[in-house]
Amino acid sequence: MSVVFTRSEQHHKDTLKAWAQALSGTAMSTFNVRVSEHVQVLTNCFHKYSEEAAPVNDIVSRFVFDVLGDVLFSKKYNLVETNGWHEYFDRRKDALPVLGPINDVTWLGHLMFLLAPFWSRVRDWFYMVDYSVQTMQQRFEDDSKGPRMDMAAYFIDEYHKLEGVYDLEKRNLHLQGTAVTAVIAGSDTTRSALIVALWSLAQYPDHAEKIRDEIRNVDLNDPVALSALPHLEGFIAETLRLLPPAMSGAPRDTGPEGLLVENILIPPDVKVTSPKYVMARLPTAFVDPNEFIPERWYSRPELIIDKRAFAPFSVGARACVGKPLAYTELRLVVANIAHDFDVAFAPYYDSQTMWLDLKDQVTAQPGDVKLIFKPRK
């Protein structure tokens, strides 16, 4: 159980505060420095690929895991720096294909886990859960050694504050659910967005040049300063619009009176989903919806017909709580990579591979991206 997946509105209300504190402006001021340090390691890594194709998907997987380990658990993996790997990546790759199709049919997932725990794909999912829970447990035990500034500190503090509100079993389940949510949702969604952003720097060099013009006199290690740059923000928004990290969106149940959509009544208590990928490409919401036009977000507002169709992190009380950290990573990576490199597709690489091999498996899984990072003088 976690703040994201609980069905209890009271439990959601009781436990949302810890996430808000963990990603507040105060916390992010500390995390921003640490994320910036990881971005410098990432940039140094790409400097090794000036003549050969960089396996972007693998490198980004390492990067987001390094950031997540540091910000969430104060844990140093150093996968980018050492060109290391983690079993979690392989397990995730094997687990998500079976979870994607049943994402909105949760009862089927529970049945599958109960009746087929021996199936390799189910075991891979349980590995991801066990890894998250065990890492949080280790961090919980390390808390006695002194205070640490990470997201887990807020969740552990919440755990203690809930004593007397929930029994021990429920508090343990909540802390475990929080760990699973933070690790799986926190790493995979950002991974997708960063892969698409780097692909876009190669696909749209003119927009990369506009970003360079904006960042000339800006501190590239300050995501707050970067957030004020209109073309950079528009570039990121178009990246998230054309390929939302969660493509299908979170399902919702219709209310007691049902839902009326264009004179069609959907009965009460029916689960409905509005796929973000489809909504963000509706011609009734955006002019030239399939075109990459960052200017629509600042200088050409006439190209946005209905902004409500743009919700890559969802909206309302159930919106993605990790949005501040995701934007920090996107701003720092895009700005620093655009500053240091001319990014191009590898000579043998078909630029449409990312789209042709794209899969919707709980989160978006872009096809392989192979890029050349030519250092700029």
Q: Which parts are annotated binding residues?
A: 320
Cα angle for residues 69, 179, 18 (degrees, 5° grid): 100
Cα distance between residue 64 and residue 99, in whole Å:
21
Q: Which residues touch 166 (CB under 8 Å, ≥6 apart)?
A: 174
Annotated binding site for heme: which residue ranges? 320
Q: Which residues touch 201 (CB under 8 Å, ≥6 apart)?
A: 207, 208, 334, 337, 338, 343
